[in-house]
Amino acid sequence: MVGTDRGIRTVEDVMALLDGLFAPGADRWTEGGAEWWDGFYADRGRPVPFFVPKPDENLVSYAERGLLPDGGRALDLGCGPGRNTLHLASLGYRADGVDLSANAIRWAGERAEESGTEGVRFTCGDAFAAGTVEGPYDLVYDSGCLHHLPPHRRVGYLALLDRVLAPGGVFALTAFAAGEGGMGSERPDADFYRAGALDGGLAYTDDDLRTLFADLEPLEVRRMRDEPEDSPHFGRSFLWTALFRRP
């Protein structure tokens, strides 16, 4: 008799099943995607906009306007080479950066050492796996992680925020913006499973972000401002920036 393979018993079983609907090599969101990201960060001289050692303009703006918590712990999800993690540490946070790529984490550590930045810690691993990050955090920041997650993995993203974001804490992110001048795919969620790929990332609207994070209080949702090459800050208008507070 042929086995029926009825092994779905937990939410993680469902997540794994849905992950498997994507083509081999499409994974950019679990530890299985680490090798792809290592290749992405291997050549530091590539003209990738966010390889620059500059913090996001919106993150700088939040701090200048007093919208961020006054010190405490901060988590930078998908930190890459650590540009925003280092900025958070410079603001006085005990800042943790986490990324799937060992190459990115190595680069981030070198930047911290070169700049003499203290109060920062980098971890290579899956932020959504149990035990990788431990809250509570007063601030959680995501610059470009959410839009690389398939729709079903938003469940784990929200669960992570619920687990590690302190009451009264602040959550902020940047994500591909839908609409004119935006970036990322605007196809319906179901299409990604039919295609078996994410088309480079998912685009979000203002309403999408407000709905996804409906349990949080929205403080600001806007397009990121374009920053010139000689600016000390990073900014590209094809991204949304969003700031929320946990009640």
Residue with token string 């303009």: 57
Confidence (pLDDT) at 86: 98
Overall pTM surpassing 0.75 (yes/no): yes
Taking the C-alpha atoms of residue 99 and residue 78, their distance in angstroms, rounded to an integer, is 5
* Average pLDDT, integer, range 63-79: 98
Q: Tell me the Cα Rg of the chain.
A: 18
Amino acid identity at 141 = Y
List, in sequence order, the alpha helices (H) in the chain. Answer: 11-19, 34-42, 57-64, 83-90, 102-115, 154-164, 189-195, 206-212
Using CA atoms, how far residue 214 sits from 76, 175, 179, 217, in Å, is 21, 17, 21, 7
- Per the CB < 8 A criterion, the answer to whether 85 and 76 are in contact is yes
The model's pLDDT over 83-119, given as tens digits with 9 standing for 90+, comes to: 999 999 999 999 999 999 999 999 999 999 999 999 9
The pLDDT confidence band at residue 226, using thresholds 50, 70 and 90, is very high
Give the torsion sign (CA, 58, 133, 120, 110).
Answer: negative
Confidence (pLDDT) at 180: 87
Instruction: Kindly provide the residue ranges of all beta strands, DSSP E only, lying in 100-188, ordered along the sequence.
Output: 120-124, 137-143, 165-176
- Per the CB < 8 A criterion, the answer to whether 182 and 238 are in contact is yes
Taking the C-alpha atoms of residue 212 and residue 204, their distance in angstroms, rounded to an integer, is 10
The model's pLDDT over 158-211, given as tens digits with 9 standing for 90+, comes to: 999 999 999 999 999 999 999 988 899 999 999 999 999 999 999 999 999 999
Q: How far is CA 19 from the centre of its chain?
A: 19
